[in-house]
Amino acid sequence: MSDSSDNRPRLIGIGGGSGSGKSTLARHLEQALGETHALLISLDAYYLDRNAVPAAIRGNVDHPESMDAHLLGQHLDRLCRGESIDLPVYDFHTHTRTPKTCRLEPRPVILLDGVLLFALEPVRSRLDLSIFVDVPADLRLARRLLRDVAERGRSPQSVVEQYLATVRPMHARFVEPWKAQADYCITNERHFEPALEQLLPVITGMQHQLSPPDRENPHPLACVPLARGTRPAHPAPADRHNAPGSGDVH
């Protein structure tokens, strides 16, 4: 975590497995905070061109090395300085970035959404708050299957094959270990309303902190299932520099 001025944007990371509903939660938070107050960025925009990915993992979009972590870190720094960025536009059909970009202006709250969010050190080290959406594997697979068949024209067989080949093993290696490191862990088996009611005061309250959270002196972490109706005090942040599986991520 860098030492930034008090009026810099707050970076909120929302991660979890594919099909967990993290993108839905992120959109709800953006809507609740208001478009003039919050900016939502999906990490899907930062995939590398397939030809730029190491050959050993080419085609495996669930591996951290498929992401342009360097550019993402640069963009987060620019936003925190109050500067605009040109967000890449990634084409999942050609597995390349398009020539087009999307100009984004900073907002007081920047919401980051992505499966590999916490596995990327340039993101993890800059976060002010991390939220992990925890959902049983069978429910995540069912949601992914329904989504990919209905929205992406894929066959059920291809979805299941990809899940077994890369999604499940990469989740175990690069996603699940971060559940215990997140500031908040919420469940999403039905709906997000209870979690939203509890997260919004935390996020809006962060803007009035006198200084950023102290990442150099972490305290033990409480992993809280917010969606079950418990309203905890905001736990101390985890040490994101002692990363589970960090030796595997470059």
The sign of the dihedral angle between the CA atoms of 136, 142, 148, 151 is negative
Tens-level pLDDT at each residue, the chain (250 residues)? 334 446 899 999 999 999 999 999 999 999 999 989 999 999 999 999 999 999 999 989 999 999 999 999 999 999 999 999 999 999 988 999 999 999 999 999 999 999 999 999 999 999 999 999 999 999 999 999 999 899 888 899 999 999 999 999 999 999 999 999 999 998 867 777 888 888 999 998 886 553 334 444 333 233 344 443 333 333 333 444 444 443 333 3
Superfamily of domain 10-41+108-238, CATH level 4 = P-loop containing nucleotide triphosphate hydrolases (3.40.50.300)
Q: Which two tokens stand for residue 71?
A: 């550019």
Q: Are strands 38-42 and 10-16 parallel, antiparallel or unpaired?
A: unpaired
AA letter at 84: S
Angstrom distance (rounded) from CA 83 to CA 69: 19
Q: What is the domain partition of the chain in residue ranges?
A: 10-41+108-238
Collapse the DSSP code of 83 into the 3-class scheme (helix H, G, I; strand E, B; otherwise coil) and give the result: coil
- In this structure, what are the phi and psi dihedrals at residue 242, rounded to the nearest 5 degrees? -90, 80
Stated pTM of the model: 0.80
